[in-house]
Structure 1
């Protein structure tokens, strides 16, 4: 009976196919429930959402390299290896930026560009080029050699890797295309085609997108400061001046915080930072020790209460601000010290490990700083741009320009913390109340901040930039640390520490043969499984590939 029914149905299908043609039976492209040619306005929001995913997923690993946070328990052997600048081979760990560049955004951005041409949606095209430039920039800075010229090539399983200088030039070309289309105003249907329909970061403001593109260019050129034949600080300064200048220009991706899928990956609800604790280095920067050599209360940065978590283990309910050194875990996590005297490092999203309500409880405003369920994820900020300008000006001996940009960078980060309105109703990053004008003035007058061109150092600039990028600017901070060999700057006739008190992991010698980590490996399941011959060509099959010097940090 079953055979009879099957044959009858097949005969009916064949007859109807002949009578009506295959298209109506088999082509689902025109099913309104499953559209195959969506408008860029419906595709673009997912591209914005993809950026935090790549950055935040990989920040679980890069954040330990740069010491934003560290693993709390040495018994977690799969985690502690990252604190020690090691690598977990044979997995996709630290490969999500790669995934977002080639899979999450990749062909989707190409679709927006192609469809935008057919509909004269120039602003969508420009914004798509801007995101392509940004993704290739952070991907090459994360991995080194990557696939660029053959990216998205069809009918092949082998993709050629390009050198970083090729990718850097490609990013500039993409930025040129972005600027060209973002400048166009000849919209045939301005009421329906404009970017605001799908852009929940900038609400379709082309001027802000243009500033973002110039910010990508500023990063691109400034990363070459060790390349004497390529570095042009004047161009860096020019692009910074054309980029973000106020917090309203900041590129922030908001989270609605209504369910798991639209909630901040770093928030307590998703519970992805459970075994991570704030690093001792950021604590030393904000409690005054790294900048002044003293933890006297007068030297404490007022941003500390908003950015970091205090231990609540002591009898007075506030054990102070403590952090974890890389590779050794939290020495007080299971300490024999009496509980009323213990100071355990706290999770990033709360003033105690117990502040996490667990994944079974959803409270959108719980957490702290950028570690809230409904907090934004910054992609680029005006404070960051000011510090890039300050660095370029300092390196070109324009000390007055450097001092001005450095001071504005500090103030811009204070403004970022104090911002009362975030895109799409996201939570403020300050807790309870903003930093007061008096607190800000006192800090700017303190020994933490250089006041004159004679007093300003590269260390001052880079340490303040580290603070401003804490909790989100993992890729840029890692670029800076590698440029300056993690804790020193080599100039003609001098060697001095840039990241004062930054300490490499104690267990490093036994892990990487004494070598510092320089790059992330290509994503395992797309490259080591399918593209191994090409990886062998660039020596990515070697066990120490993650310590291979990266192009932009090699001086010439």
Structure 2
């Protein structure tokens, strides 16, 4: 974490006025202000969120089987499929990087300057982003640096337990709500609308976002004796009210740095293939118990990619198992070549159609150059509410939230307009009313509170978060020890059909993965004494269960 201090010192030098004011005046650049307004800093903070999540999604996305590698001989990729990691590397450390370097001091700057200028809306939104980023960072890594995160004049930064971080996130949320609810803004200062390309300065939506963070925070503690489903439901009810509240980061796709990391242009998903698990969730195998056209989820044609050969009984949707790769990847047989698992960029595609070239309409679903990167959605909140109500044994409320959650994800896919003119997520025509009704009335969906299970809720949540909600899905899977903790009501596995890798990485010493290791370049290089204290130098540290899943 030594770089924190270096960044702070450089920032401080830029703002010194005493003793060298004339020198700074002579050398100032009007195009690069030394004391920028929060309105010019805030957009970069929003843009930094998907960078952290999408970079790391290439790795935790394998743990949760959103996708896996296409080639079983690609050693490094296979190790991640098998719940391992890459040593002496910053891989899977970009959320960490964004929390401490990308957003860290910049959010503090927005808060400090915003307070001085009476820009309470910026202050509140900055606190909301701090809460969100620390929440996903601790959910991914477990113990992290919190109370000493931006401490000056030190090269060693103390790690805090997750109980401290979880409470700290709640405190940030309280501060966010306090400032976002203030109406005595400085009339001569820039308003949040100038720098906010997500909600356009709508503080009511920012407040709902804060309550959504709190809903996640409280719901992750479902294994604790002090878990309170009533608080979770309260926060859900105060948070998102429709898909209009979805927190979506748009991309302009005019150059590399403002193009979707998952799009064809940036070429980061070429060797990724949809998993067997998501295919079987959507083709009827797992939820309906039979793979047939009548049981096929109408969302599948918009989210997943179909292979050239469609004779396999589910329309040609194929997936890979973790570490096994695509058995047809290198085949020379003409029929088997057509049965390869398609790339995420489109149907019947096995290679990237437009690497390093911006091609309008190239890609599919969230894997386009100009597709949004979701941060949180209304559907997600409804499934959190459904789980909390189910745990409370209020099965009627659980059924209502579960049904609304499925509908909200249909609405998410069918959304006709996106921020900043980003591409629609559906391909061709949106899902029709008839298709939706047939699915809701079919074998995949429960319609009775008496028959609803936690498995139904969590499987539908998995579908709704597939391709973007990586940290939340991993939090869910770990709370249930992947598929090993049953639903207390039914005694059945919650993630039935989620098959662990046939071979677990040798790094794990026979255990499953439960955390990402701290970022190598900032911690293992500069902060090793503290890592030694918490046991992070052990080769199997990534298998140590995180606090929030423990009883």
Deviation at 1:365, TM superposition (A): 2.5
Residue 169 of structure 2 aligns to a residue in which SS?
helix
Q: Matches of 2:368 and 2:298 in 1, distance apart? A: 20
Question: 1:359 aligned to 2:355?
Answer: yes
Q: CA deviation at 1:350?
A: 1.4
**In the alignment, is the contact (CA less than 8 A) between 2:455 and 2:487 conserved in 1?**
no
Distance in 1 (alpha carbons) for counterparts of 2:394 and 2:350: 49
Aligned counterpart, 2:81: 83
Confirm or deny that 1:279 pairs with 2:275.
yes
Partner secondary structure for residue 252 of structure 1: strand
Shift of the 43–493 alpha-carbon distance from structure 1 to 2, 3 Å rule, reads closer
Q: Look up the match of 1:54.
A: 52
Give the whole-Å Cα distance in 2 for the aligned partners of 1:528 and 1:340. Answer: 46
Judge conservation of contact 2:262–2:367 (CA < 8 Å) in 1: yes
Matches of 1:300 and 1:311, distance apart in 2? 16
- What corresponds to 1:166 in structure 2? 164
Following the alignment from structure 2 to structure 1, what is the Cα–Cα distance between the partners of residues 356 and 486? Answer: 51
Instruction: From 13, 21, 24, give the equivalent of 1:23.
Output: 21
Question: Is 1:217 equivalent to 2:214 in the alignment?
Answer: yes
Q: What does residue 18 of structure 1 align with? A: none
- TM-fit CA distance, 1:76: 1.1
What SS class does the counterpart of residue 286 from structure 2 fall into? Answer: helix
Partner Cα distance (1:146, 1:98) in 2? 9
Match of 2:447 in 1: 451
CA deviations 1:47-66 (Å, max 9, x no partner) are: 00000000000000000000
Contact 1:333 1:344 survives alignment (8 Å): yes
Is the CA contact (8 Å cut-off) linking 1:311 and 1:321 kept in structure 2?
yes
Q: Which one of 152, 155, 159 corresponds to residue 154 of structure 1? A: 152
SS class of match (1:214): helix
Q: Distance in 2 between matches of 1:297 and 1:189?
A: 59
Aligned counterpart, 2:234: 238
Any residues of structure 2 matched to 1:485-504 within 5 Å, and which? 485-490=481-486, 495-504=491-500
Partner of 1:195: 192
C-alpha separation in 2, matches of 1:213 and 1:495 = 35
What is the CA–CA distance in structure 1 between the aligned matches of 2:280 and 2:526, rounded to whole Å? 45
* Paired residues, number: 532
**Runs of 4+ residues deviating >6 angstroms:** 491-494
Match of 1:106 among 74, 93, 104: 104
Pair 1:445–1:492, CA change in 2 (3 A): closer
Alpha-carbon displacement from aligned partner over 1:423-473 (angstroms, at most 9, x marks no partner): 111100001110000000000000100000011000000000000000000
Query: TM-score normalized by structure 2?
Result: 0.94
Does the 8 A contact of 2:253 with 2:259 survive in 1? yes
> Superposed, which structure 2 residues align to 1:333-372 within 5 Å?
333-335=329-331, 337-339=333-335, 342-354=338-350, 356-372=352-368
The reply on whether 1:63 has 2:80 as its aligned counterpart is: no
Deviation at 1:492, TM superposition (A): 6.2
TM-align CA RMSD:
1.8
Instruction: Structure 1: state its 5+ residue gaps.
Output: 1-20
Q: Secondary structure at the match of 1:193?
A: coil
Rounded Cα–Cα distance in structure 2 between residues aligned with 1:41 and 1:29:
24
Q: Secondary structure at the match of 1:257?
A: coil
Q: Deviations over 1:374-415 (max 9, x none)?
A: 000000000000000000000010101100000000000000
Distance change >3 Å, CA 172–CA 339, structure 1 → 2: same
8 Å Cα contact 1:364/1:372 also seen in 2: no
The secondary structure found in structure 2 opposite 1:114 is: helix
| Alpha carbons 1:310, 1:346 under 8 Å: kept | yes
Q: How does 1:386-425 map to 2 (within 5 A)?
A: 386-425=382-421
Q: Distance in 2 between matches of 1:141 and 1:78?
A: 24
Give the counterpart of 2:204 among 204, 207, 225.
Answer: 207
Q: CA–CA distance in 2 between the matches of 1:308 and 1:60?
A: 17
Answer yes or no: is the 8 Å Cα contact 2:43–2:196 preserved in 1.
Answer: yes
For the residues of structure 1 that align with 2:44 and 2:347, how far apart are their CA atoms? 33
Cα distance in 2 between the residues matched to 1:226 and 1:518:
15
Partner in structure 1 of residue 10 of structure 2:
none
* SS in structure 2 at match of 1:518: coil
Q: 1:350 touches 1:356 (CA, 8 Å); kept in 2?
A: no
Equivalent residue in structure 1 for 2:126, among 125, 128, 139: 128
Deviation at 1:334, TM superposition (A): 1.6
**3-state SS of paired residue (1:339):** helix
Q: Secondary structure at the match of 1:402?
A: helix
Matches of 2:45 and 2:74, distance apart in 1? 34
CA contact (8 A) 2:41 2:110 kept: yes
- Change in CA separation of 1:73 and 1:432 when aligned onto 2, cut-off 3 Å: same
User: In 2, Cα distance between the equivalents of 1:364 and 1:376?
Assistant: 15
